[in-house]
Structure 1
Amino acid sequence: MGDTKFGIRHVIGAPVATTMLSQQELVCIPPRTAKFTLAEWELNNNAKSRITTDQQQLADKVLGECQRVREETEDRSKILKATSEMRIEERILDVEFNKNELCLQRKEICIELEAMSVYKTRLQDCLASLEQNALNICRKCLMLRDGRLGIDLVVDNVESALQEEISAILGAKSLLKRALEQLNEQMRRLRSTRYQLDRDLQYKQAAIDADKGSLTLKPTDTCLSIYEGYTNMDPADISTEEYNFYSAKNIQLAAKEVSSARPIRVFIDTLLKQVIDDLWAAYNKCNHAFNERIQATKLAKGNLEDMHREVTEKALAMQKNIELLKKAIADKEGYVGVAHTRLGRRAQRVGAELVKDSPGRALYYECEMLRHSTEQLQKMLQDATAALRYLSQTQIQLEEDINIKMNTLKIDEVDCMSLRVTMDYHAY
C-alpha cells in the first residue's frame, strides 16, 4: 500500500525517481461518512432552532432600532433644514433691509451730487463772467481813459471808482474760488462715499443671491457636493455685531456727507447773492461817477464853446476895428496932406506977408494934432493887431480844449459806457 498522506497514494511498482508532486498521479479519495447518534441529531436540531430564534429576535431589534434611527435622523434633518432655511430667510430680510437703507442713502447722495453739479456750474459761470466780462471791461476802461489828452488826463472819481470796482471783482473772484474748492472737495467726498456704498451694495446683493440660491437647493438635486477637506467649512471671521456696525457706519457716513453738503449749497446761495449785490453797488457807483464826470465835461465843453463863440465874435469885431483904424489912418493922411500943403503954400509968401498969423498957427496946430491923432491911431492899430493875435491864440487854445473835451466825452460816454452796458451781473 502506498502512502495516503494528503490524500495522495503512491502506486506500487511505480518508479522511485518520480518524487515531485507535479509529476505524481493523484487519486481523490472521498472522506469518511459521519455517523451520529439520534440524541446528537436532536440536540443539533434544538441548538439550531434556538440560534435561529435568537438571531431572529436580534434582527427584529436591529430592524426596529434602524427604523427608529432612520425616522429620527430624517426628522432631525428636516428640522435642521427648516431651521437653516428660516435663518437664511431671516438673514436675507436683514441684508435686504440694510441694502434698502444703503440704496436710500445712495439716492440721497446722487441727488445731492446733481444739485452740487448745478451749483458748480453756477460758480464757474460766475467766475468766467467776472474774468472774461466785468474785469476785462473795467481794465479796458482804464486803458481807454489813458487816451485822454492834456488837462483831462486827470485822476478823477471815475478812475477811483474803476479801481474800487476792480478790487471788488478780484475779491469776489477770490471768495468764489474758495467756495468752488470747498464744493469740489465735498463732491469728491460724496463720490468716495457713493463708491463705498456701491461696493457694499454689490457685496450685499451677492450675499442675497447666494442665500436665495441656497434656499432653492433640494436633497435630490444632482448639483450637490460634499466637502471632504480638513479645514473649517465656515471661513467667516466677522461677527454679526461687527457686520451690523459696518453697515450702520456706511449708512451714517453717507447721511453725514449729505448733511455736510447741504450747508455748502446754502452758503453758495448766500455768497452769490452777496457778491452780486456788492458788484452791482460798485457798478452803480462807477456809473454814477462816469455820469457826473460826463456832465462836468459837457458843462466845461459848453463853457468853452460859449467862450469860443464870444472870442470869435470879438475877433471879428477886432478885425473890423482894425480895418476901421486903417481906414482912419488912411483918411488922416489926406488931412495931413491938406494941412502940410497949406503950410507949404503959405510959406511961399513974400516980405511982410510972411507973418505968424492965426491961420498959420491954426495950420501948425492942425498938423501937430493930425500927427498926434495918427500916432494914436497907429498905436491903437498896434494894440488892436496884438489883441487880434491874442484872440486868435485864445481861439486856437479854446478849440484845442474843446477837442480835448470832445475826446474825453468820446472815451467816457461812447467807448467806456458802451462797454459797461454789456456788463451783466445776475443771480447765476
Structure 2
Amino acid sequence: MAQTEVLLTKQPAPQTVPACELPRKEYEVARNTGAYSSSGLATAGFRTAKYLVDEWFQAGYARYHQAFSDRDRSERQRQESGQLAAETEALAQRTQQDSTRRVGQRLQDAHGWMSELQREVTELLAETDLLLAQKQRLERALDATALPFSITTDNLQSRERRQAPDLVRDRVEVELLKEAELIRNVQELLKRTIMQAVNQIRLNREHKETCEMDWSDKAQAYNIDETCSRYHSQSTEAHFHPHSTAFEESASTPESWARFTQDNLLRAERERLASADLRVLVDCILRDVSEDLRLQCDAVALAFGQRCEELEDARHKLQDHLQKTLREISTQEHNVGALRQAIKDKEAPLRVAQTRLYQRSHRPGVELCRDTAQLRLVSEVGELNQSLAALREKLLEAEQVLHNLEDTRLDLEKDIAVKTHSLCIDRHKCLTLRARYPTVSQLAGYQ
C-alpha cells in the first residue's frame, strides 16, 4: 500500500507584529503527488466540502486574535472613557471656579466704581452748597464800589515828573495801574462772577445726576452679579438657557464699560475742581471788594517802600562808585605817568644797541661776520622795539581808560542828582498823600 507522508512545516513569524495582535501561525501542506498518492477518484466527492487541517488551525487562531483585539479595544475604551470623564469633570470644576472668580472680580470692580461714584456725588453736592453760599455773598457785595480813585490818579501824575533814567515802568507804577483798573471794573466783575457761579451750579447738578444714574445702573448690575456668584452645580435655582450665550448687539466691552464710568468721573471731577477754583476766585473778588482795595493800597505802599529802598540803595552805590572812580582816576593818572617814564627809559638801551650795530657794521673784510654777538644785538633791538610798541599801546589804552573814567564820574554825579529827585517825589509827595487812604470798613461800605 502506498504510504503517504504529510509534512507540516512551521513558518517563521513576521518581523513586525502589532502590539495588540497575536502572531499568526501559517502552515503549508506538502501533498504527495507521486505514484503512491492516495488522492484519487475514491475521495473526490468528500474533498470539496471539507476544510483542511491548516485551515482549521487558521480559523481558530483568527477567533483567538479577534477576541484578543476586542478585549484590548474594550479595555482601552474603558480607560479612555474614565480618563475623559475625569478630565471633563475637572475641567467643568475649573471653569466654574474660574467663572465664579471672574464674577467676584467683576463685583469688586463694580463696587470700586460705585464707591468712586458715591464719593464724587457726595463731593459734588457739598461743593454745590458751598458755591451757592459764595453766590449769595457776591450778591450782597455788589454795592461795594466806593473807591479812592483820586489818590491813585494823583500818584500816577506826580511820578510822570521823574527824570530819565528813573522814568521807568517799575513795580510801583504797575501796582498803581492795577489799583486804578480794579476801582473802575469791580462792579462789572461782580456781575460777571455771579453769572459764572450760576452756570457752574447748573453744571454741578447735571454731572451729579449723571453720576447718580451711573451708580444706579451699577447697583442693579451688582445685585445681579452677586446673585450669579452664589450659584453652583447643586443650586436648584439654576436652569437651562440655551440662547443665553449670544451677545447683545448693544453690549459694551470691559474697556468701554470702564471708560464710560471713568469719563463720567473725570467730567464730574473737572467740574468740581472748576467749582472749587471758582470759589477761590470768588473769595479773591470779595476780598477785592471789601478788603483788597485796602490791601492793594498796602501793596502799593510796600512797592513804594521797596522802590524807595532801591533808589536809596542805588544812590548809595552810585556815591560809593563815585568815590571809587575818583580814586581810580587818581591811580590811573599815576599809571599814565609811569608808562610814559617807562617809554622814556627804554630809549637809552635802544640807542646803545643801535650804536653797537652801527659801529660793528664798519668791520673790514671777512671780519664783517654774523657772529653771535651780531645776532644778539639784532634780537636786542627787536625786543626793545617790541617793548616800546607794547608800552605805547598800553599808554594809549591807559589814556582812553582815564578819559572813560572822567566821563563815568560825570554820569555818576548826574545819576545821583536824578535819584535824589525821584526819592523826593516817591517818599515825600506820594507816600504822604497815600497816608490818607480810606480804611477797610470805609471801603466795605460800613461807614
- Bigger RCO (CA 8 Å, 6+ sep): 1
- Shorter-chain TM range is 0.3 to 0.5
**If each structure's helix is expressed as a fraction of its own residues, which one has the higher value?**
1
Larger radius of gyration: 1
TM-score (norm 1): 0.39
